[in-house]
C-alpha cells in the first residue's frame, strides 16, 4: 500500500508553465538569447538557476550575472501569477480525492519557496499539505531525484511508498529515479512524447485520476 501522495506544483497545481515561458522568453531575449516556446519546453520542470546555466552555456552574455537573470525571470513570473495565475483544471478534485484516502499529502517543487508561497497563498492551499518542500534546498533540481527522496525522508516514509503527480518529463524522470510510483498529466501538446512511457499512468486530465490513484494506493508496492 502507498502511504503518501506528492504533488508537483508548476503544471500540476497551477497552470504556470505558459507564464514561465513568457517570462523566460522576455528576459532571455533582452540579453540576446533567441529562446522559443519549444526551447522552454526542453527545460520545463528544471530549477531556474539550472535553466539559466543551461542557456548561458549555449548563448553566453556579458551582463548581468546569471543570478540576476534568474531573479528577473522569477520577478516576471510572480507578477504574472498574481495577475493571471489559474489552477489546473481538476486539481481541486485530485486534492479532495487524496484527502479522502488514507494517505499523507506533500508538495515537492523545483520552484523556490518565493514562488511556492506566491502560488499557495494566492489559492489558499497551505493547509492541504503536511509538507511543502523546494528543490532550492537540494544540490540539484529535477530531473535529479533528490527533491523527491528528501521529501519522503522528511515525512519518515520510504520513496517506494510514495506516489508522485507530475506533468513534465524532467519531473517524471525525477520521481521514477527516486523509485516512486508516478502519474503523469502532461499538457496536450506533449502527450505524444514517448518519454512519458516511464510513468506508471499517463492521463489527459486530473479529472481522470480517481480510478488509477485508488488502485495504486491500495496495491502493495512492487
Contacts of 119 (CB under 8 A, 6+ apart): 9, 13, 14, 16, 81, 85, 111, 125
Count of other CB atoms within 10 angstroms of residue 12? 27
Q: Is 10 in the active site? A: yes
Q: Is 121 a catalytic residue?
A: no
Residue 215 and residue 203 in contact, taking contact as beta carbons nearer than 8 Å: no
Residue 14, φ and ψ in degrees, nearest 5: -120, 145
Q: From the candidates 10, 15, 49, 167, give the one annotated as an active-site residue.
A: 10
By annotation, the residues acting in catalysis are 8, 10
Amino acid at each position: 500500500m502507498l502511504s503518501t501522495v506528492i504533488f508537483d506544483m508548476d503544471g500540476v497545481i497551477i497552470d504556470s508553465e505558459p507564464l514561465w515561458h513568457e517570462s523566460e522568453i522576455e528576459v532571455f531575449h533582452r540579453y540576446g538569447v533567441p529562446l522559443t516556446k519549444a526551447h522552454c519546453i526542453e527545460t520545463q520542470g528544471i530549477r531556474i538557476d539550472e535553466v539559466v546555466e543551461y542557456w548561458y552555456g549555449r548563448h553566453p552574455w556579458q551582463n548581468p550575472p546569471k543570478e540576476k537573470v534568474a531573479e528577473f525571470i522569477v520577478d516576471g513570473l510572480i507578477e504574472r501569477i498574481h495577475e493571471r495565475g489559474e489552477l489546473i483544471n481538476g486539481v481541486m478534485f485530485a486534492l479532495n480525492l487524496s484527502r479522502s484516502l488514507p494517505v499523507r499529502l506533500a508538495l515537492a517543487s523545483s520552484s523556490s519557496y518565493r514562488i511556492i508561497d506566491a502560488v499557495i497563498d494566492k489559492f489558499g492551499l497551505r493547509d492541504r499539505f503536511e509538507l511543502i518542500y523546494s528543490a532550492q534546498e537540494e544540490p540539484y533540481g529535477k530531473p535529479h531525484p533528490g527533491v523527491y527522496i528528501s521529501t519522503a525522508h522528511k515525512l519518515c516514509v520510504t520513496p517506494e511508498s510514495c506516489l508522485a503527480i507530475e506533468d513534465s518529463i524532467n519531473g517524471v524522470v525525477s520521481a521514477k529515479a527516486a523509485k516512486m510510483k508516478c502519474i503523469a498529466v502532461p499538457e496536450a501538446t506533449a502527450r505524444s512524447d514517448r518519454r512519458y512511457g516511464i510513468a506508471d499512468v499517463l492521463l489527459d486530465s486530473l479529472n481522470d485520476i480517481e480510478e488509477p490513484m485508488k488502485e495504486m494506493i491500495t496495491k502493495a508496492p512492487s
